[in-house]
Amino acid sequence: MAWSFLRVGDNPWTTKTVDHLCQECAVVMANGGSVFIYDVPQRSGHVIGWHQDILAQVAAFCRRRKAVSQHTESVPQVALLHSQSHYYASNQGLYAMGSALTPVTGALFGLLENHWHVDVLNEDALLRRLEEYPAVVVAEQTHLPTKLVQALERYVQEGGHLVVSGAETCQAFRRILGAKKRGNLREETLFVGVGDESVPVTGPWQPLRPEEAGEVLPLLSDQEPERDGLGLPAAISNRVGKGTVVAVPGPVFAAYGRARYPRLRAVIGRIMKAALSKPLVELSGPPSVQLSLRRKGNRLLVHLYNLGAEPTLSPTAHMVESVPAAGPLKLSLQCPSEPKQVSLQPGKQSLGWSYKNGKLQVAISSLHIHEVLVVEL
């Protein structure tokens, strides 16, 4: 349910714009959901005419996308664990979430903004469907059941790609990290080096000494990668059996949940690439453009939705007045055979594409709010 209205602070409620509502609906449709919009008539029961004009435009936007949104299935790529064990150990009552969701929401934002397709699964769903996913992310989830930890260890041995983060979570998976503890927890702000730059992340950090594992990103005492290295890794990668585990012994995902710093997004991107270097779909574009990979019959559907906004949003201005077009975008999709047809929906727009060595390459000049790349196999 999308509200047709919002308010800032204690100011009166006001109706959202067409672009704002279309953007909200697009995210739901892109993930296979249904959506309805809540509108309020006058106290007399009179239906406000100009509200209905706005809703009619939004309804037309949704219906144009119905055929490529309804009755679709997610194509498994990255499973993000939303552990009930962690949640109920970390929340503050039924509706007081406290910090229980911060690592999961941070991981979800970070993955989507790096153009990964993500499904959020609890422990039971993940155990049932584990073999379907090329990659699994366990973002600072604590109090994990032994059964789940052992299942994920087997998953890696058999060819899966696992990302674990957080000092306590890394300790739960210590048997497969390829590294040992090196000293006590550091409850302080340290820096993660990313290229020639760095970003601060407040601990706890668990210093690690890599043995079989290799360093992915360095941990720094201050901001300068060339002079402030601690000789400790901020992220490591270890080959285990047929699979890979990437471990981050600090709370990078919770940090991103609290503050979405661009360099921290880049850190998350490097971590994911170390875990799964060749995803099914890759997108070159701004972080405001996100994707959802769906399937319907013999068609692969790459939903692209644009979360940009003009003018710039703020705590006192969070109405999306208009969505600026994003682009150009470049998309690469692994396909077992050359597609029969490739188009951009709605409207079955033709576009240039090429296929070579099992990979479909598509260039999209511009994306407004929501378009769907339809690949007929």
Q: What is the pLDDT of residues 292-320, one digit of tens each?
A: 999 999 999 999 999 999 999 999 999 99
CA distance linking residue 320 with residue 208, whole number of Å = 45
Residue 59 has pLDDT above 90, yes or no: yes
pLDDT digits 0-9 by tens, 2-27 = 999 999 999 999 999 999 999 999 99
Residue 213 has pLDDT above 90, yes or no: yes
**pLDDT score of 274:** 97
49 pLDDT tier (thresholds 50, 70, 90): very high
Residue 327 has pLDDT above 80, yes or no: yes
Percent of the chain scoring above 90 in pLDDT: 95
Residue 98 has pLDDT above 90, yes or no: no
Residue 78 has pLDDT above 90, yes or no: yes
pLDDT digits 0-9 by tens, 258-275 = 999 999 999 999 999 999
**pLDDT score of 258:** 96
197 pLDDT tier (thresholds 50, 70, 90): very high
Contact 88, 128 (CB under 8 A): no
Q: What is the mean pLDDT of the chain?
A: 96
**pLDDT score of 60:** 97
Residue 126 has pLDDT above 90, yes or no: yes
Residue 223 has pLDDT above 80, yes or no: yes
3-state secondary structure the chain: CEECEECCCCCCCEECCHHHHHHHHHHHHHCCCCCCEECCCCCCCCCCHHHHHHHHHHHHHHHCCHHHCCCCEECCCEEEECCHHHHHHHCCCCCCCCCCCHHHHHHHHHHHHCCCCEEEECHHHHHHHHHHCCEEEEECCCCCCHHHHHHHHHHHHCCCEEEEECHHHHHHCHHHCCEEECCCCECCEEEEEECCEEEEEECCECCEEECCCEEEEEEECCCCCCCCEEEEEEEEEEEECCEEEEEECCCHHHHHHHCCCHHHHHHHHHHHHHHCCCCCEEEECCCCEEEEEEEECCEEEEEEEECCCECCCECCECCCCECCCECCEEEEEECCCCCCEEEEECCCECCCEEEECCEEEEEECCECCEEEEEEEC
134 cis-preceded (ω within 30 degrees of 0) = no
Residue 38 has pLDDT above 90, yes or no: yes
State the average pLDDT over residues 362-372: 96
116 pLDDT tier (thresholds 50, 70, 90): very high
**pLDDT score of 165:** 98
Percent of the chain scoring above 70 in pLDDT: 100
Residue 348 has pLDDT above 90, yes or no: no
Residue 94 has pLDDT above 80, yes or no: no
The lowest-confidence range among 84-98, 170-184, 211-225 is 84-98
State the average pLDDT over residues 50-54: 98
255 pLDDT tier (thresholds 50, 70, 90): very high
